[in-house]
Structure 1
Amino acid sequence: MTLSIQQGWAAGVLSCCGIAVGTLCHISAAAFGLSLLLLSSELIFNLIQYAGAFFLCFLGLKTMLSPPGIATGKQSASMKEPVAVFRDAFVINLLNPKTTLFFTAFLPQFISPQQGNVTTQVFILGGLVILLGAASDLTYVFIAVTVGERLQAAAGFRQSRRYFIGAVYIGIGLTTVLSGVFSR
């Protein structure tokens, strides 16, 4: 959403694609049993969770410290390149162990070994989750772009958007850390 507000449709859609590919990695891990290894070690689970939170805070600080954007609407130095947009969304999703937990706990409820290859079933159900998630994420992109266009019209927001966007990243990162600390 933050990238959609800041950079528009293209960044939002690329971010959705990065999230989808990250989700595909989680589905693959669940299909081949790798998720169970991750979930069997509280240390590894926590390390991945904190790495994801650190990455979000890093992105937030990087955004806040970037040079101010150009108010003309042209791409500024603080705008991310398309590859970086995709990569960052992919890494954030990949470093979310709760996604692994979701697929390991959720999908097996709908798998029936009597119905055929279990791995194939995991990929089919996982593909449906990706499609539903993409539809949901693209709805958020639409809302964020609409809100972003209105915010961009306000001179005050143009001057402070990098702080707003950075604070959102940091807030999500800190929430991730705190949810891990308080969930024990």
Structure 2
Amino acid sequence: MGRMPSVEMLLAFAGTSLLIAGVPGPSVAYVVARSAQHGTAAGLFSMMGLGTGVVVHTGMAAAGVAALIALVPMGLEIVGWIGAGYLAWLAVHTLRARSAEQHDDGTIAVPQRGRLFLDGLLVDVLNPKTALFFIAFLPQFVRPERGPSALQLGVLGLLYMLIAVTCYSTYAVLAGRLTVRLRGSGSIRSRMAFVTAGIYLVLAVVVLVV
């Protein structure tokens, strides 16, 4: 008896995951916002935080924690409100940092790498839509005859993480390079703070209503 998902199942899962991760959504918008405001490196560190969040969701799904949260009345709703609140805080923090950390040439100081990573991690972990994705999507590719469900969920989750971080990295690099080309002066980078804050607020609404 096999102990892993079949090759055919993995290929089908990989193809579907590529479509899901590759189509611009909240995670892509978040990475692009980071890259546009602070450069490619900032986008890549944010991407690593999002990727780690996928690992956390995978572990929760494999352990049955995600499904348990979904069964608790208002469980996912509470997580959603926390996630939306965090995104709103990021929007306010971005605008405040624009004034507090602005250089003489108009550019904005780049947050520390640990901060970028942690923000990405929390944005992903506190997104109830991501939790629902792992509850509803991954189990469809699990086959009991192939071995323990937790092991299969772990393999599928890690495969999705690799595909997702590849897509997010591509968007981060493209956004960073495009912003450099469009940046005629340092002040444009400063104005990106307003765009980034607006994206965070939109994402906060998406977390709650979509």
TM-superposed CA distance for 1:155, in Å, is 5.1
Equivalenced residue count is 177
Tell me the equivalent position of 1:182.
none
Asked if the contact 1:59–1:166 (Cα under 8 Å) also holds between the matched residues in 2, the reply is: yes
Tell me the equivalent position of 1:135.
166
TM-score (norm 1): 0.88
Tell me the equivalent position of 1:173.
204
Tell me the equivalent position of 2:191.
160
Asked if the contact 2:127–2:207 (Cα under 8 Å) also holds between the matched residues in 1, the reply is: no
Asked if residue 15 in structure 1 is aligned to residue 21 in structure 2, the reply is: no
Asked if the contact 1:14–1:85 (Cα under 8 Å) also holds between the matched residues in 2, the reply is: yes
- 2:103 corresponds, among 40, 60, 70, to 70
TM-superposed CA distance for 1:175, in Å, is 2.7
In 2: Cα distance, 1:86 partner to 1:155 partner? 25
Structure 1 residues 114, 86: closer, same or farther in 2, change over 3 A?
A: same
Following superposition, which runs of at least 4 residues in structure 1 exceed 3 angstroms of deviation?
A: 71-74
Tell me the equivalent position of 2:17.
none
One-letter code aligned to 2:68: L
TM-superposed CA distance for 1:3, in Å, is 1.2
**Ranges in structure 1 where 5+ consecutive residues have no aligned partner:** 180-184
Structure 1 residues 56, 121: closer, same or farther in 2, change over 3 A?
A: same
Asked if the contact 1:5–1:145 (Cα under 8 Å) also holds between the matched residues in 2, the reply is: yes
Offset from partner CA, 1:119-162 (integer Å, 9 cap, x none): 11111111110011011101110221122212332455234221
Offset from partner CA, 1:73-112 (integer Å, 9 cap, x none): 87x44x2111000000000100011111111111111111
TM-score (norm 2): 0.78
Tell me the equivalent position of 1:118.
149
Please state whether the residue corresponding to 1:80 is helix, strand or coil: coil
Structure 1 residues 17, 163: closer, same or farther in 2, change over 3 A?
A: same
The percent of aligned pairs where both chains have the same amino acid is 29
In 2: Cα distance, 1:111 partner to 1:177 partner? 29
- 2:69 corresponds, among 26, 35, 38, to 38
One-letter code aligned to 2:33: T
**Over aligned residue pairs, what C-alpha RMSD do you find?**
1.8
In 2: Cα distance, 1:24 partner to 1:87 partner? 14
**Ranges in structure 2 where 5+ consecutive residues have no aligned partner:** 1-31
Asked if the contact 1:49–1:97 (Cα under 8 Å) also holds between the matched residues in 2, the reply is: yes
Please state whether the residue corresponding to 2:165 is helix, strand or coil: helix
